[in-house]
Amino acid sequence: MGKIIGIDLGTTNSEVAVMEAGKPTIIKSAEGQPYFPSIVAITKDGEILVGESAKRQAVTNTEGTVHRIKRKMGSGEKVTLRGKEYTPEQISAFILQKIKRDAEEFLGETVTDAVITVPAYFNDNQRQSTKDAGDIAGLNVKRVINEPTAAALAYSLDKEGDHRMAVYDFGGGTFDITLMEIGDGVFEVLSTNGDTKLGGTDMDQALVDYMASEFKKEYDMDLREDPKSLQRLFEAAEDAKKELSSKLQTDINLPYITVVDKEPKHLEMKITRAKFEELISTLVDKTSGPCKQALKDAKLKPADITHVVLVGGTTRMPIVRKKVEELFGKKPKRNVDPMECVAIGAAIQAGVLSGDIDKDIVLLDVTPLTLSIETLGGVATELITRNTTVPTKKSKIFSTAADSQPSVDINVLQGERPMAADNKSLGRFHLDGILPAPRGIPQIEVTFDIDVNGIINVSAKDQGTGKEQSIRITGSTKLSDADIEKMKRDAKEHEEEDKKRKEKVEIRNNGDALVHTTQKTLEDLKDKLSSEDKESIEKGLKELREALSGDDMDKIKEKTDALSSTIQKVSTAIYQQAAAAQQAAQQQQATSGGDGGQPSGDDKTIDAEYKVKDKKKKTDKKKD
Amino acid sequence: MATKKVKGTRKQNPDEIIDTLERKLKKRDREVKSIKQDLKEKEDRLLRSYADFQNYQKRAGKELQINKMELKKKYLTELIDVKELLTSAYEDNNPKKGLKLIINDLDGFLEREQIKYIDCIGKTFDHNIHHAVNIIEKNDCEDETIVEEVKKGYLLNDTLLRPSQVIVAKRNENR
């Protein structure tokens, strides 16, 4: 069965969502917006436009454009577009068709089924009409649910036992209040009320009027009369409104807003949240009446309401939230996007109907803390990061830290701190029988395997000999939430000093490793180095050794860098020599046509190979 | 048919029967065990792929965040440059030349990003790229001709970045 989509078929805008991998996802329109303007138009060429494009041409095509068709649903009233009559169901079907098409594009599969939301006050006729619109659009409407019910589902309020709730829906153009009772997952509407001519756009208008009147006071010119200026005022008002939801003050700067007496004028204004709230308070107050009436109709007191849910973009404003709190005496819930929560709730209902929820979802645990092993210098080297879903398996190759090291010690750690000693040791074991080899050569594969029950299997395998050791750690992941929180907190608190300590160890490890490789290089290249080069490398080596015997990190770092640049210089010269020799040999070969014996290019190949090995060793050592 | 009858009627020793049955039972047991083992392995593999998928989702989410941040950084750095230059222009007593260069720079940046200005004045209104904010009654031009540009519109790689906000001429049919 295909996916069932959830549609919030709104008066001004519609939103769509779908359950994906157990989570509701908002579907974007083909134009890339998370909503679809509920506008339909027939152009003079007979083309049907829906959404953004219909909105863009609305003023030039008043006789062919229809807005707010939702208000006519179930009324039997027809609309005439360019001389042709359409039922509200047909118009809504155009919107639903566009939604279906874009959802299919988004999901990459055919969509045949939908859950559609309607206002709680819709009567049977209006509900049937909505269902019919779905039918016309080719959507099988699995269920029509109330918008406030969908909002409650988005907040998982159906899982909170029996209670009464208020859904305060303040959108762009309308206000609705619904009181509901929830018991055993069944929603019952107790009362509903609202104002069909009250919304966020009125607030934009109030701000535009204020800005224009202030400007007029100064320059005696009404910006609202110039469509260019008016458009900019509206955009600025909308931005300011949004900004004032999180900030206490905003600057409105509209340079070159108009020309007065051939001189360009700018609009500059500071608007405080207090000023804005003063401008819109009467609008916000207008929601009190319907709320009080709804309480009265349901024979309830504010104290009888246990939860208040906010729907609609306008509820993002602090003044609105304050009003709601004042009306119902409790803080409204606000962890779901108020613009999206109805569509999300519809998608959740759709998920329940299609069996996407409850049945197919496998709830898997995550590792609460990072799992690592201790490596050279007491560093915790991470294998499985925190929040990884289990079962999972991860391997890393490690090596030895000393020449001819016969065994490695695997210390399994849990925690977020970069140094081993600060984390919890879950267990340790030895892997011995490693064949004598220079440091960094043996390849020990360490594997962490966590099964679905959180049991950790750690194994270490010497890839040279095939020898393997392992440990099984049970129960140790069953840390209490408080322990986990404490460990995370500790990591956060010690972040800075831990970073420094780890850096110290790394500097030292790098220095150690360089001493080791330098010794090897000196040994391997003894025939190729000039005595001068040899001397300078040995000098650098001596200085680095001295630095390493002390505790001055800056000095170690400085000496490490110095020695490594010396070596690089020397080795570059050697390569260049080798390349020149090879080129000469090739030229000789080409001119003489004979076989030049052992080409010197071979030497170069060996050198290069060695270099690669060397580099790898260095990184391995760092890990160990 | 005949042979079968002979076989069927041959009298079997009870021990022999028990033996056969036990062998059969053991075989079944082995089969059941192997199927159970198989099922267990498959279940484990299924759970692991679920977990892998979830881990992949987490990683992809993280990567998306990082990419978003990178993109943001790129544009913000460009914006900061413009801001610095504009500040210098502001301090300049004769900023016209400097401003012109700043605008040229910005034009170059927009061009590199494949942003194209939508030429609209005098064109016929097209709902795909224009947004009509108002109409004006006019009879000396074709119906639906754009007569004023309120805000410039742009295309990004031939897709609409933002429509031109325009005022459109409407003929008065009654005249």
The string of pLDDT tens digits covering residues A87-139 is: 999 999 999 999 999 999 999 999 999 999 999 999 999 999 999 999 999 99
pLDDT at residue A114, rounded to an integer = 96
End-to-end Cα separation, chain B, in angstroms: 106
Q: Which residue of A has its CA nearest to B162?
A: A31
Q: How far apart are CA A199 and CA A119, in angstroms?
A: 16
Gap from A43 CA to chain B (nearest CA, Å): 10
What Å distances lie between residue A292 and A122, A148, A175, A492, A499, CA to CA?
20, 18, 14, 48, 58
Low-confidence ranges of chain B (pLDDT < 50): 1-4, 175
A614 is catalytic: no
Residue A598 amino acid letter: Q
- Residue A235 annotated in active site: no
Ranges of H-type helices in A221-317:
227-243, 273-285, 288-297
Instruction: Mutation target for B interface from A43, A50, A57: give the one with most B CBs within 10 A.
Output: A57
Say what the pLDDT of residue A325 is.
95
Pair A407, A433: CB distance under 8 Å: yes
Interatomic CA distance for residues A157 and A283, integer angstroms: 29
Dihedral of CA A27/A32/A38/A40: which sign? negative
Peptide bond into A391 cis (omega under 30): yes
Closest to A57 (Cβ–Cβ): which among B48, B132, B170?
Answer: B132
Structure tokens given for A355: 């069996």
Separation CA A229–CA A267 (nearest Å): 10
Q: How is A531-593 classified by DSSP, letter by letter?
A: HHHHHHHHHHHHHHHHHHHS--HHHHHHHHHHHHHHHHHHHHHHHHHHHHHHHHHHHHHHHH-
Residue A452 has φ and ψ, to the nearest 5°, of -65, -20
Q: Is A169 an active-site residue?
A: yes
Residue A366 pLDDT = 84
CB-based contact A30:A119 (threshold 8 Å): no
Spans of chain A, pLDDT less than 50: 360, 592-624
pLDDT of residue A590: 57
Angstroms from A46 CA to nearest CA on chain B: 14
B119 Cβ contact partners less than 8 Å away, ≥ 6 residues apart: none
Residue B143 backbone dihedrals phi, psi, to 5 degrees: -65, 140
Asked whether A437 and A449 are in contact (CB, 8 A), the reply is no
CB spacing of A57 vs B127 below 8 angstroms: yes
Please indicate whether, in this complex, the C-beta atoms of B50 and A393 are within 8 angstroms of each other: no
- Could you write out the three-class secondary structure of A361-405? CCCCCECCCCEEEEECCCEEEEEECCCCECCEEEEEEECCCCCCC
Query: Across the interface, do B58 and A387 touch by the CB < 8 Å criterion?
Result: yes
Segment (H or E) for B5: helix B2-9
State the distance between the two ends of chain A, measured CA to CA, in whole angstroms: 52
Nearest one of A401, A434, A414 to A622, comparing CA atoms: A401
Choose the catalytic residue: A3, A55, A70, A241.
Answer: A70
Rounded to 10 degrees, what is the CA torsion of A500, A506, A508, A511? Answer: -140
- The partner residue sitting opposite A49, judged by closest CB among B51, B127, B165, is B127
* Nearest chain A Cα distance for residue B31, angstroms: 26
Within 8 A of A20 by CB-CB distance, chain B residues are: none
**Active-site annotation holder among A102, A113, A158, A169:** A169
Record the tokens describing residue B97, joined without a space: 């030349």
Q: Which of A89, A113, A147, A512 is catalytic?
A: A147
Interchain proximity A59–B133, CB inside 8 Å: yes
Residues 6+ apart with CB under 8 A from A271: A207, A240, A244, A249, A250, A251, A252
Look at residue A603 in the predicted model and tell me its pLDDT: 38
Distance in angstroms (rounded) separating the CA atoms of residues A516 and A514: 5
Nearest to A21 among B44, B57, B128 (CB): B57
Which positions in chain B touch A392 (Cβ < 8 Å)? Answer: 48, 51-52, 55
Question: What would you measure as the largest C-alpha separation in chain A, in angstroms?
Answer: 110
Alpha carbon distance A51, A36 (integer Å): 5
The string over A382-394, giving b where at least 16 C-beta atoms fall within 10 Å of a residue's C-beta and e elsewhere, is: bbbbbebbbbbbe
Give yes or no: A131 in active site: no
Torsion of CA A85, A89, A92, A96, to 10 degrees: -130
How far is the C-alpha of B148 from the C-alpha of B132, rounded, in Å?
10
Instruction: Quote the pLDDT of residue B10.
Output: 66
Distance from C-alpha of A138 to C-alpha of A96, rounded to nearest angstrom: 9
Q: Nearest by CB to B151, which of A231, A387, A391?
A: A231
Residue ranges of E strands in A399-514: 408-414, 424-431, 444-450, 456-462, 468-473
For chain A, which residues lie within 8 Å of any Cβ of chain B, measuring from their own Cβ?
21, 31, 43, 49, 53-60, 227-228, 231-232, 362, 364, 387-393, 451-452
Sequence-separated (6 or more) residues with CB below 8 Å from residue B89: B95, B98, B99, B102
